[in-house]
Structure 1
C-alpha cells in the first residue's frame, strides 16, 4: 500500500467532506398546479385569421403548414405570434440563451403578459446557468409561469459544478427534453430545430446553426398543445421559484 502523508490524507478527507456537504438536493413536495392549453381557440384574432386564409385558399384540410426555411422568417414568425396572441402563449425549449435576439422576444412576452395573455414557458434545465439563468426571472412576472424540466440540483454558477453535484444521479440527468414549441392561442404555432438565441437566428458572430421550422395552423396545433401539457404537468417539471430565488438571479448580474 503506498504511503500517504498524514497531512495529505487529512486534506483529502476535508475536501471530500466539503464536497459532500455542499451537495444540494431537489426540493420535495413541490406544488405543481395543473393547467392546460386554451380549450377552444374560437373567437381569437388568430383563429379568425386562420379561418379566413383557409376560405380564401379553398383549402381542402382544416390544418395548414408553411415551411420557415430562413432565420429571418423563423424569428419574425415568433414575434408575430407574440404580438397576435390574445389569450395564451406556450413555449417549450431545450435552451434559451440570454442575448439580443432573445431579449427582444422576452420584451414581447412581458408586454403580452401585461395585456392579459397567460404565458407558460417550459425549459430544460441543463443550460440555465451563468447569464443564461437570467431568463428565469420571467417566472416572477405576473401572468408568466416558468417551469424547469428534469432539473439539476445546485448553484447556477456553472454547468460543470451542477453535473458534479448530480454525479450520483447520472441516469436521470441524461434524460433531457429537446422539444421546441412556440404556440399562440392554441391555433398557430412554430415547431422545428431552433432553440432561442442569436446563433439560431443568424445573428451570432461566432457561428450560426442551420435549422428548419414549420408554422402550423388549425387543429394540428391542438395536438402540439397536448404534447406541451403532458410535459408541463409532469412531475419532473419544477416551477422555477422552487429552484431559484430573485436574490440568486440578482447576484448573477
Structure 2
C-alpha cells in the first residue's frame, strides 16, 4: 500500500515537473520574442553623414536604363517568365513567400528550364514562410536538386533563439545576367501573380533594362544579394532525388514546354521607356534589430519635396517615425497617404493599429485616404514632386523600418511619376477621407461594413496588440 501511494505521488510529481518545464519554455518563447525589441536603434551618425539628397537626381547628365512599371498581376507573371527566359548565364531570385500553386509552378518551371540550358540559378527565400513549405513540396525539392540550382533559406526558425523569429527577409527581386532586373512588392504565388485566383492583391514592381552595358542600380541590387547570400543566417537547402521529386521535375518540364509554346517574343525597347538616375535604398542584411536606414533615406527625401504621395497597405509608426512624418508635413505643401480602409485590409494587425492610432496620424498633418476598391492594396510607393518615384517592398511600419530586410528603388523619371500619380488619383476615387472631422466618400468607394463577429474580434485585438505593436 505505501509503495502504491509513493508511485502515485511520483507520477503526479513527474506530470507537474513536465508541466512546469513546458510553461517555463512557453514563457521563454514569449519573452524572447517580445522583449529584445522594446527599444529600436536610432539612425547612426555615419548614416546621417553619408546621406546626400541631391545624389538621387542625375539632372539630365546620366541614364539609369529603360524601365517599365508593372501593376497588373497577370502581366507581372508574364514579365517574370520573360526575364527568366532571357538569362544566358545567371539568374538570381529573391522572395519573401513562394508557393507551389499555379503561378508558383510556372516560375519554378521557368527556373528549371533555365538550369537545364546551363544557366546558374540562385534562389533565396525567407525561413519563416519557406522552410517548412520547401521541405514538404516535391516541386521545390526537385528544383533544389538540380546541379545548376542553389537554394538558401534565410533565418529558418529556431525555438531556442526565439528573438530571431521576428527578423525576416522581405525583399522581392529577380536579376537576369547583367542586363535586366525586376524589383517590387510581389510575393511568388497566386494572390500576387497571374489571373487564376479569385482574390488578388493590388501590387507594383519595376522592370529595369539596359540594351547596352549594365545599369548601375543592377550592380547595387546584385551587391546587396551577395551580402545577404553570404550571411550565416542564409542556410543551404538541399533538394531530393526521390520518386515524387522526379515526377515533379517531369511535371515542371512539361509545364514549361506548354508555356514556351505560347510565349510571344519580347521587344524590350518597345515595352520600356528611358529613365534618369535609379538608386537602390537598402539596410542591414543580418537578422538583427536594425537602424532604420531605409526609413531615414525615405524621410529625408520627402523632407526635400513639396508634393508627397505615399501608398502603403497600412501604417504603424513608432514615436520617432511619427515625428518624422510631422516634420515632412510641416515642410511640404501636400502630404497624402493612401492605405487600405480597415474593412478592405488584408493585414488584421495593421488595420487594428490604425483604429488605435489614426487620430495621432491625422494630427501630423497628412491627408489620409482609406481605400476600398475591391481588392486589397499591397503597393509600396512614394512619389516626390514631379520627378522622383520610389518603389519596393517597404511598408510604412516599424517592422520594415527596424526588423525586416527591405529594398526600395528611387527612380528619377517625370514620365513614371506622372503615370503613378494618375493611378493614385484614380485610387483616391475609391477612398474616404476626413474633412473637418467628418468622413467624405469618393464616388467609387465600396462600402463593405463589419459583421458583428468582426467587430468583436477587432475590439479584442485593439487591446491585445498593445504589448506587441513594436513588432508590427
How many Å apart are 1:203 and its aligned residue?
3.8
Q: Matches of 2:82 and 2:202 in 1, distance apart? A: 21
Quote the residue 1:119 is aligned against: 121
- Map 1:48-67; keep pairs closer than 5 Å: 61-67=63-69
Indicate yes or no: 2:155 matched with 1:150.
yes
Cα deviation 1:199-238 (Å, max 9, x = unaligned): 1125464622211010012312121111111111111111
- Map 1:12-27; keep pairs closer than 5 Å: 12-14=16-18
Quote the residue 1:201 is aligned against: 193
Among 170, 173, 183, the alignment partner of 2:165 is: 173
How many Å apart are 1:92 and its aligned residue?
0.7
Among 235, 239, 253, the alignment partner of 2:236 is: 239
How many Å apart are 1:186 and its aligned residue?
2.4
Among 125, 135, 139, the alignment partner of 2:144 is: 139
Q: Matches of 2:11 and 2:196 in 1, distance apart? A: 50
Who wins on radius of gyration, i.e. which is larger? 2
How many Å apart are 1:187 and its aligned residue?
1.7
Contact 1:202–1:209 (CA under 8 A) maintained in structure 2: no
Quote the residue 1:36 is aligned against: none
Q: Matches of 1:69 and 1:8 in 2, distance apart? A: 62
Indicate yes or no: 2:2 matched with 1:10.
no
Contact 2:186–2:205 (CA under 8 A) maintained in structure 1: yes
* Greater RCO (Cα-Cα under 8 Å, separation 6 or more): 1
Task: Mark the CA change 1:200 to 1:16 in structure 2 (over 3 Å): closer, same or farther.
Answer: farther
Q: Matches of 1:89 and 1:16 in 2, distance apart? A: 50
Q: Matches of 1:7 and 1:79 in 2, distance apart? A: 61
Across the aligned residues of Structure 1 and Structure 2, the Cα RMSD in angstroms comes to: 3.1
Q: Matches of 2:118 and 2:92 in 1, distance apart? A: 14
Contact 2:69–2:204 (CA under 8 A) maintained in structure 1: yes
Q: Matches of 1:98 and 1:73 in 2, distance apart? A: 19
- What 5-or-longer segments of structure 2 have no aligned partner? 1-7, 26-60, 249-472
Task: Mark the CA change 1:13 to 1:74 in structure 2 (over 3 Å): closer, same or farther.
Answer: same
Task: Mark the CA change 1:11 to 1:194 in structure 2 (over 3 Å): closer, same or farther.
Answer: same
Among 49, 68, 75, the alignment partner of 2:70 is: 68
Q: Matches of 1:238 and 1:177 in 2, distance apart? A: 13
Task: Mark the CA change 1:10 to 1:147 in structure 2 (over 3 Å): closer, same or farther.
Answer: same
TM-score, structure 2 normalization: 0.37
Indicate yes or no: 2:161 matched with 1:186.
no
Q: Matches of 1:235 and 1:131 in 2, distance apart? A: 21
Q: How many pairs are equivalent? A: 194
